[in-house]
Amino acid sequence: MKPRDALLPALALLAACGASQRTYHDEKMDFGAVKTVAVMPFANLTREQSAADRVRDVFANTLLATGIVYVLPAGEVQRGISRTAPSSATAPTAEEIVKLGGVLKADAVITGVVKEYGEIRSGTAVSNVVSVSAQMLETATGRVIWSGSSTRGGITLGDRLFGGGGAPLNDVTEDAVDDLLGQLLK
């Protein structure tokens, strides 16, 4: 077997990893009815303590910048969390979503999970990666009306061959959030 023949499957696998996305849209939902959104604190499954807060801030600000919906300020969301006292602010139950929606006067709530955030290494190559999942829940019923996930960054073939540190973490975070919002606004 030629070395080039062994490299082709690896390249296909790398390309597939960066392009994968899993999205759910509730076909019965009128997304035009969603005018006000509360972005809840994201869950953090990484070693970086501030990862969830950073990704949540980028997500909320980027969503607000679209002008499609009004995103409640983080302080207002925190006030609503304090008043309703959900069992988990990062993963409230359907009943808690309905209650929170009433207190905040929000049409939908977005929750999220940061699965990877930061630097990864492979041999001598180093790069940044961000992996995040999010879902939108309707506050009238507490049911999921959209969910998506995105992973951006990582070590490329160019990083392996020529070195380099990949894109800055902030750029990778923005790419992952842009991908998620692209899935939401389809």
Is residue 121 in a domain? no
The pLDDT confidence band at residue 177, using thresholds 50, 70 and 90, is very high
Is residue 167 in a domain? no
**165, two tokens:** 């540190």
Q: Which tens digit of pLDDT belongs to each residue from 100-148?
A: 999 999 999 999 999 999 998 887 888 999 999 999 999 999 999 999 9
Is residue 1 in a domain? no
Provide the pLDDT for residue 151: 95
Range of the domain at 88: 20-114+132-151+176-184
Provide the pLDDT for residue 126: 84
How far is it between the farthest Cα atoms of the chain? 66
In sequence order, what are the residues at sequence separation of 6 or more whose Cβ sits closer than 8 angstroms to the Cβ of residue 130?
55, 114, 116, 117, 150, 151, 152, 153, 169, 172, 173, 175, 176
Provide the pLDDT for residue 21: 53
User: 50 phi and psi, to 5 degrees?
Assistant: -95, 5
19 vs 33 pLDDT, higher one: 33
Is residue 162 in a domain? no
Kindly tell me if the per-residue pLDDT of 153 is higher than 60: yes
- Tell me if 175 sits within 8 A of 59, measured CB to CB: no
Percent of the chain clearing pLDDT 90 (strictly above): 68
Mean pLDDT of 69-98: 96
Q: Which tens digit of pLDDT belongs to each residue from 36-51?
A: 999 999 999 999 999 9
Is residue 161 in a domain? no
Domain count, the chain: 1
CATH number at residue 142: 3.40.50.10610
Is residue 122 in a domain? no
Is residue 7 in a domain? no
In sequence order, what are the residues at sequence separation of 6 or more whose Cβ sits closer than 8 angstroms to the Cβ of residue 15?
none
**13, two tokens:** 């696998």
Which of 11-15, 86-90, 125-129, 165-169 is most confident? 86-90
Q: Which tens digit of pLDDT belongs to each residue from 8-21?
A: 333 333 333 444 45
Is residue 101 in a domain? yes
